[in-house]
């Protein structure tokens, strides 16, 4: 999909880093992702796959979020704001996104409401209309006036399809900071915490104290208090990491005043590694910092930012203290002495076990958006189903039930594409047979299929290797190889697949490229296989040796051309022709019509057609559902075809 994420950070960079983490996750999942940033330019790690668009920046000073300033500290002009809106609209037109995500708005950034509404109104005018999603952190600042809350609710109802809340109610539910009515609850999707850093934390022997602040100048009092506290606790090494918003002169002054056991330097990219080996962390209680603390499992003293009417950090800090994970020093009481006392208390307290909180917010956000996007009504294109309508009507008139089944090839691991495939099957209660490549199976696939009652695995060759001679059509089990060699590989394939997949496996052989040497087929039953599946109408329900045959018949991919969606009208005619062949006697009337897909190579056109077909079949009362198209019981395939 094409994803557009719009964010403007005004004070610190936390909003931007969280949006960038989401953008990186979408890009890594294979989506074409554009991140539009409207705040001060910030160096963002690990977003090489993301297209970054920088608007003419605006910022604020302190807690005055009503006055927008340019990069020179002067009020942002009307021309600058107009230039921002123009670039936003040009970006929207160039990207033509299927999903638009706004960070914080409409729950905040009221000063930029005109800009966000311009973007969203233009997005809603696109055909097809993109999915529109709000991305919010765990704690918000509720409006002080009822009319502003009503304004937010109206914007949600008019402009948005969903809200992603990046938090975990086990720490703090959204209701703790924002009134959640029935309308918002219906739109709300909880993702878990978004981790801005892709790096893991390698913990080791812990020693020393790490002090960090946000990226704004508001953290300067914390650094000064930390120097005073360090003089009172001299027997441990201290490391003070100064944020980007602190002026160079102030950094130099802090370094000059630091005692010998204290190191003062700019914030470092290996901050999380430092936390992993620190005995204690001193910091504010911003969203990203607290995720770092939870990841590192380090003891913490928190000095939440509370200037103006800010309550977000204090609430988060109190929740962490309630779990036994932190001490709090209120900002109004901050001094070297109070900070030192809190540090001593925290060091003396026994360590608390880490809470069971969801920190997988990026992956969950991608999965949620993918599911929402694929089910959006706007994504169902208008197709001419009349040829299939007519064929199925004739089947009903003749009392000939037509069944369909779905086979998908080349599964080896849990991937975002497989997640999407299984969600699609579950949404329309469609059984699906996954032809899995035994030699390349990964444990993640086994874990992913656990509990998927509608998904079964088949044996897709051995390693999906082409052994055909040059110039011949690709085949792994073709007539050009010794039968004994292929029989041995087919045996190994079934043994490995059964050992890994257990009860999710049906003993069905699916030769890669749907080609198999005729001489190998009689050997399959004695090797343990109960069925064979290729690509053509079967001549009989079973082979002479009793092997069940259930083939596929329609593949939506234009393999020899665009490798995208083949002509949709032609695909519908192919489905109708398969029905007609069963009615005329040209094909076995009892064989289900097989739809063959390859989830790993699907683009958005293919996904859309697959869903449209499932919508059509689920609404047609001539369809009789089967699991994978194959009769089965707890022991595998039954004797009755």
pLDDT digits (tens, 9 = 90+) for 96-135: 899 999 999 999 999 999 999 999 999 988 767 899 999 9
Q: In this structure, what CATH number is given to the domain that contains residue 469?
A: 3.20.20.370
Instruction: Give the mean pLDDT of 619-637.
Output: 45
Does 42 share its domain with 131? yes
Length of the chain equals 641
Question: How many other β-carbons are positioned within 10 Å of the β-carbon of residue 375?
Answer: 16
The pLDDT assigned to 204 comes to 64
Instruction: Give the mean pLDDT of 448-453.
Output: 89
Asked if residue 435 is part of any domain, the answer here is yes
Does 233 share its domain with 156? no
SS3 state at 411: strand
Q: How far apart are CA 322 and CA 313, in angstroms?
A: 14
Of residues 352 and 311, the one with the higher pLDDT is: 311
Does 271 share its domain with 160? no
Nearest to 152 by CA among 104, 118, 81: 104
Q: How far apart are CA 641 and CA 628, in angstroms?
A: 13
Does 498 share its domain with 588? yes
Q: Of the candidates 141, 163, 190, which is a domain's last residue? A: 190
Q: How far apart are CA 364 and CA 419, in angstroms?
A: 11
Confidence of residue 375 (pLDDT cuts 50, 70, 90): low
Report how many domains make up the chain.
3
The pLDDT assigned to 429 comes to 80
Q: How far apart are CA 137 and CA 195, in angstroms?
A: 12
Does 163 share its domain with 237? no
Instruction: Give the mean pLDDT of 465-480.
Output: 94
Q: How far apart are CA 455 and CA 505, in angstroms?
A: 9
Distances (CA, A) of 13 to 20, 69, 215, 273, 290: 10, 16, 6, 20, 15
Does 28 share its domain with 128? yes
Asked if residue 199 is part of any domain, the answer here is no
Does 436 share its domain with 564? yes
Q: In this structure, what CATH number is given to the domain that contains residue 274?
A: 3.40.50.2000
SS3 state at 535: strand
- What would the pLDDT profile of 584-606 be if each residue is shown by its tens digit? 999 999 999 999 999 999 988 89
Q: In this structure, what CATH number is given to the domain that contains residue 143?
A: 3.40.50.11930
Asked if residue 364 is part of any domain, the answer here is no
Q: How far apart are CA 82 and CA 143, in angstroms?
A: 27
Does 627 share its domain with 486? yes
Does 184 share its domain with 325? no
Does 262 share its domain with 295? yes
Asked if residue 26 is part of any domain, the answer here is yes
Confidence of residue 641 (pLDDT cuts 50, 70, 90): very low
pLDDT at 278 over 70: yes
Residue with token string 């704690």: 139
Confidence of residue 14 (pLDDT cuts 50, 70, 90): confident
Asked if residue 198 is part of any domain, the answer here is no
Distances (CA, A) of 180 to 140, 165, 599: 12, 12, 38
pTM over 0.75: no
Contact 494, 471 (CB under 8 A): no
R_g over Cα of the chain: 30
Report percent pLDDT > 90 for the chain: 68
pLDDT at 624 over 80: no
Does 141 share its domain with 264? no
Asked if residue 509 is part of any domain, the answer here is yes
Distances (CA, A) of 319 to 88, 219, 326, 333: 38, 21, 9, 19
Q: Of the candidates 155, 190, 225, which is a domain's last residue? A: 190
Domain span including residue 545: 401-632
Asked if residue 110 is part of any domain, the answer here is yes
Instruction: Give the mean pLDDT of 509-517.
Output: 97
Instruction: Give the mean pLDDT of 410-419.
Output: 93
Lowest mean pLDDT among 38-42, 166-170, 194-198, 596-600: 194-198
Asked if residue 336 is part of any domain, the answer here is yes
Confidence of residue 424 (pLDDT cuts 50, 70, 90): confident
CA 246 centroid distance within chain: 35
Does 182 share its domain with 260? no
Q: Of the candidates 315, 348, 381, which is a domain's last residue? A: 348
């Amino acid at each position: 999909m094409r994803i557009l994420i719009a964010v403007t950070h005004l004070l610190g960079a936390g909003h931007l880093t969280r949006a960038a983490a989401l953008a990186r996750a979408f890009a890594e999942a294979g989506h074409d992702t554009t991140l539009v940033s409207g705040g001060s330019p910030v160096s963002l790690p690990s977003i090489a796959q993301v297209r970054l668009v920088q608007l003419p920046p605006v910022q604020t000073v302190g807690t005055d979020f009503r006055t927008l300033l340019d990069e020179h500290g002067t009020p942002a002009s009307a021309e600058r704001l107009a230039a921002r809106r123009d670039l936003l609209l040009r970006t929207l037109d160039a990207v033509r996104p299927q999903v638009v995500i706004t960070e914080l708005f409409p729950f905040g950034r009221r000063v930029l409401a005109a800009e966000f509404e311009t973007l969203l109104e233009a997005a809603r005018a696109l055909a097809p209309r993109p999915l529109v999603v709000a991305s919010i952190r765990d704690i918000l600042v509720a409006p002080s006036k009822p009319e502003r809350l009503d304004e937010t609710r109206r914007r949600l109802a008019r402009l948005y399809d969903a809200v992603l809340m990046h938090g975990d109610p086990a720490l703090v539910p959204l209701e703790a900071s924002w009134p959640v009515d029935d309308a918002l609850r219906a739109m709300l999707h909880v993702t878990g915490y978004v981790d801005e850093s892709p790096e893991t934390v390698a913990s080791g022997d812990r020693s020393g104290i790490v002090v960090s602040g946000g990226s704004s100048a508001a953290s300067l009092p914390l650094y000064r208090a930390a120097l005073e506290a360090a003089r009172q606790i001299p027997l441990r090494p201290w490391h003070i990491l100064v944020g980007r918003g602190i002026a160079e002169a102030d950094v130099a002054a802090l370094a000059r005043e630091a005692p010998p056991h204290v190191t003062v330097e700019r914030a470092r990219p290996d901050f999380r590694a430092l936390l992993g080996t620190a005995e204690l962390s001193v910091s504010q209680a911003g969203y990203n910092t607290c995720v770092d603390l939870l990841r590192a499992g380090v003891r913490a003293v928190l000095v939440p930012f509370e200037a103006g009417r800010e309550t977000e950090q204090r609430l988060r800090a109190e929740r962490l203290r309630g779990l036994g994970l932190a001490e709090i020093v209120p900002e109004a009481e901050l001094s070297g002495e109070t900070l030192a006392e809190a540090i001593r208390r925290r060091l003396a307290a026994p360590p608390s076990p880490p809470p069971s909180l969801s920190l997988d917010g990026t992956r969950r956000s991608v999965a949620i958006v993918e599911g929402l996007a694929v089910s959006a009504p706007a994504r169902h294109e208008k197709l001419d189903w009349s040829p299939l309508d007519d064929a199925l009507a004739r089947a009903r008139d003749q009392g000939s039930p037509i069944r369909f089944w779905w086979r998908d090839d080349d599964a080896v691991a849990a991937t975002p594409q497989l997640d999407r495939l299984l969600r699609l099957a579950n949404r329309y209660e469609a059984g699906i047979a996954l032809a899995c490549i035994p030699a390349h199976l990964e444990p993640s696939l086994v874990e992913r299929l656990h509990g998927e009652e509608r998904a079964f695995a088949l044996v897709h060759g051995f390693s999906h290797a082409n052994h055909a001679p040059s110039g011949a059509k690709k085949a792994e089990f073709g007539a050009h190889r010794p039968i004994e060699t292929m029989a041995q590989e087919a045996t190994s394939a079934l043994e490995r697949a059964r050992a890994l997949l257990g009860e999710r496996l049906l003993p069905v052989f699916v030769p890669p490229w749907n080609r198999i040497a005729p001489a190998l087929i009689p050997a399959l039953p004695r090797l343990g296989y109960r069925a064979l599946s290729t690509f053509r109408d079967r001549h009989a329900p079973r082979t002479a040796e009793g092997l069940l045959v259930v083939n596929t018949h329609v593949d939506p991919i234009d393999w020899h051309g665009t490798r995208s969606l083949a002509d949709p009208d032609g695909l519908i005619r192919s489905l109708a022709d398969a029905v007609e062949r069963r009615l005329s006697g040209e094909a076995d009337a009892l064989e289900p019509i097989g739809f063959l897909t390859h989830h790993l190579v699907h683009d958005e056109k293919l996904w859309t057609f697959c869903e449209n077909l499932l919508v059509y079949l689920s609404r047609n009362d001539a369809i009789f559902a089967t699991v994978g198209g194959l009769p089965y019981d707890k022991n595998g395939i039954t004797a009755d075809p």
